Amino acid sequence: MSKTAFPAGYRANAGLSLFETQAAISLVKKTFETRLCEELDLTRVSAPLFVECGTGINDDLNGVERAVRFDIRDAKKDAEVVHSLAKWKRLALWKYGFPAGKGLYTDMNAIRRDEELDNLHSVYVDQWDWEKILTPGTRTLDTLKDTVRRIAGCIADTLDALKAAYPVIPTNLSRTVTFVDTQTLLDRYPGLSAKERENAAAKEYGTVFLIGVGANLSDGKPHDGRAPDYDDWSLNGDLLYWFEPLGCALEISSMGIRVNASSMRSQLAASGKTRREALDFHKLVLSGTLPDTIGGGIGQSRLCMLLLAKAHVGEVQSSVWDEETIRACEGAGVKLL
């Protein structure tokens, strides 16, 4: 059964032609990218579509997703398409000699072949991946919160520019970010699932950042899965917005301060992944070779959905869909790109 559904009365492309929608998407991406660079002091770099297997560089997400793998004939090596660039970015900052307080960003394109397709999820992933070297003494929760506020400000500025160009855009967002840790949210809504708790928080606050994703909570389960070897589970989180078209929370960014040697060891042990300590990337963290960094990913298609009030990700990106999704979109008058 298709997991794609549209609210009653949803009007695809309301007020904008498909041509105007494409122009609006371009405006969103250019404006946000420029503001993000200015606000976080980032420099654009080139990034890989795939990395060598067995190095520990790829993002393992929840640990069950299968990467798309292939052999490189002349190199006599196997490679895999990245899930994200969470680890690669930290390596790049070190290899490229970035100074403290400076960072990088790149366009990340990925294939997540095991994604469950619905209004918000596609096998094609496009996001801005960014990473920044922390200055001494700033590996703190205050640093994380300040960075989140800056990113939310960039999103609000982008919406202002979009509505100036296209006044018919109905979206309104709160610039104020409410911070809630995941254990507090569980205590407040013990009878709800993690996603239901996210929806409740986003509906109440509009713009919310959930702190602490990956570690087990008092119910013995993590709020959501998070790989143990890039984010520090006590200094990370997800930026959510209340998304009126679907009546749910919409995650725009997952980000955090990265693991140091002690947090990597404890998180690998907690997740039963201590064998990873022998991988190249992990050795660099455990030896203290890599700098302390903060970073994350910001979904490009997700941001376009949020600002343009689109109810399906296929309205702002081109991908491959199952037949049930295609029929559901046709029934709602939604044209998939």
- Residues with catalytic function: 59, 112, 127, 238, 251, 254
Which has the closest alpha carbon to 59: 45, 70, 48?
Answer: 48
Contact by Cβ (8 Å): 309, 170: yes
Q: Give the three-state DSSP class for 250.
A: strand
Q: Where are any strands of DSSP class E within the chain?
A: 42-44, 50-52, 69-72, 77-81, 103-111, 124-133, 178-181, 207-211, 231-243, 248-258, 293-299
Q: Which residues of 102-139 are buried (b: 16+ CB within 10 A; e: fewer)?
A: bbbbbebebbbeebebbbbebbbbbbbbbbbbbeeebb
Contact by Cβ (8 Å): 83, 226: no
* Cα-only R_g, the chain: 20
Identify any residues that bridge with 214 across adjacent strands, giving them in sequence order: none
How would you classify the pairing of strands 207-211 and 178-181?
Answer: parallel
Q: Where are any strands of DSSP class E within 202-278?
A: 207-211, 231-243, 248-258
